[in-house]
Amino acid sequence: MTFLVRTLAYVSFLFGPSVAIAAPKVSICIPVYNVEPWLPAALNSACNQTLKDIEIICVDDGSTDGSLAILKSYAEKDPRIKILENEKNRGLLFTRIRSLLASSGEYILCLDSDDELFPNIAEKALASAKRTGADIVFFHT
C-alpha cells in the first residue's frame, strides 16, 4: 500500500521569516538498501511522473552493492533527485524517517526501492487530496 501525506511547508531560518522558498508539490521518498537489480525501475517510475513539480529524496542505508552508484548516476541527470547517505546500516524505519525529514514538498509519497509507480499516480493522488481536502490518500499501485 502506498500513500500520499500532507506536510507543512517551512522557511529556512537563514533567509528570515518573510522569505518563502518555493516547495515542490510532492516529495517522493525512497529508502534504499541493497536493491541494485530493482532500483533503476523504481527511479525511472519516480522521474517519469506526469507531475513534474516533485523532488525525489533517496536515502542510502549503507548499501554494499551498486545501489549508491545507481543513485549517483541518476542524480547527475536529474536535479530533482537528492541523495542522503547513512554512515552505516540503520534500518528501514530510521531511513524512512530521515527521508521524510529531508523532504520539502507539500505532500509526501513513499516509494519502496523495489516497487514502481504508475506514471500519473502522483498527479492523481495530489488531485484527489486537493479535491477532498484529505491529509492522507491511500492507494494500491
Q: Tell me the DSSP string of the chain.
A: -EEEEE------TTT-TT-PPPPPSEEEEEEESS-TTTHHHHHHHHHT-S--SEEEEEEE-S-SSSHHHHHHHHHHH-TTEEEEE-SS---HHHHHHHHHHH--SSEEEE--TT----TTHHHHHHHHHHHHT-SEEEE--
Poorest-confidence range of 16-25, 57-66, 81-90, 109-118? 16-25
Count of domains observed in the chain: 1
Question: What CATH number did the domain enclosing 111 receive?
Answer: 3.90.550.10
pLDDT at position 133 is: 94
Domain that holds residue 10: 2-139
Q: Across the chain, what does the average pLDDT equal?
A: 89
pLDDT digits (tens, 9 = 90+) for 15-69: 454 445 678 999 999 999 999 999 999 999 999 999 999 999 999 999 999 999 9
pLDDT digits (tens, 9 = 90+) for 120-129: 999 999 999 9
pLDDT at position 8 is: 44
